[in-house]
Structure 1
Amino acid sequence: MKLKSVILVAGIAAALLSAPPAQAQTVDPAVVLNRVCLPYAGRSASFERAMRAAQDLRFGRPAGSPPLDDYASEVELTSRDGVWRIRLQERAVTRGDRDAYALTCALSSERASATDLGRLIDGVVNGNARWTAGGNGVRWQRHGGDDALTEVVVKEAEGQRPVLDVTGLYF
């Protein structure tokens, strides 16, 4: 009887030790685009709501970050595994001769190339009649009348990770 108990305990211990980790985090960047970036840039989600949506997807502020100011206009969030980053930013910009208010959600990863990020946004917006292919480095754009424009750009600077920027411009 003792031998059976020892074998049973050893079998359970081996099963527990060899089991895969309970729900390792995997980030689906298409979900991040649909729940965080596109609503934020499109003004259907506020800065605070976009941060909460990112936190719901298991993103947080990097360790050692100073407390967020009540009037912060920029925040960087990192996935729990450290692979993906989201930067939310509000700022004033000038486009041509017009002043605009810009809301940008930038998505980047150590493991995603500019080509990967381009395919990602193509898969999310391609076939949607509200989006058109852009020009002058803009991959996609969506017009919201004369006073609003959403642009998607994939940027790749030397020595830095590629970034997918989704920016809503409001004139």
Structure 2
Amino acid sequence: MKPRTLVIFGILGVGVAVFAILQAKKAQAMRLFEKIMFSLSGIGDVGMANGGLWLKLHFALTNPTAEDFYVNTNGAIQVKVMRMYLFGEQIGYATIPDFYQLDLRAGQTAILRDVKIEISPISLGTKLFDSIMKNKKNWANYTELLTKMSFEIDIDALGQIYTLKQSFA
């Protein structure tokens, strides 16, 4: 064979191998993200800016499986956006521009720190007012504000978007 033909076959072979590895990682990500546990792990700052409210929250992603998932390819796994809901209505949103390199080893937890969620004061105020009108002086029922709060986070892993949900119910 000519050296040129060998080089072409070598490049094709490497391309096929890289494609196969990416497909295997994508299949692994699909299996794993169905089992990942997503939870609120802490509250950072709270503030007001430009007529709106914001919260900085910390979230934990836990891999409960015996399977490691680690990709270090500068952007193969990115946390994209987060949404905050109260009584099923979206009241907050966070675009997450920083790259979070997720190292989800078996049984380990990755922490997403200082996720700044901007909250619509009108939506929040409406939900709080509705709860006050519904519960009046029955203070025990105000815990429903926490049990009806939920979060969604979108993660782009190897070109596939996975949505993880967390509620306090």
TM over 0.5: no
- Larger RCO (alpha carbons 8 Å, 6+ apart): 2
TM-score by length of 1: 0.31
Specify which structure has the higher proportion of strand: 2
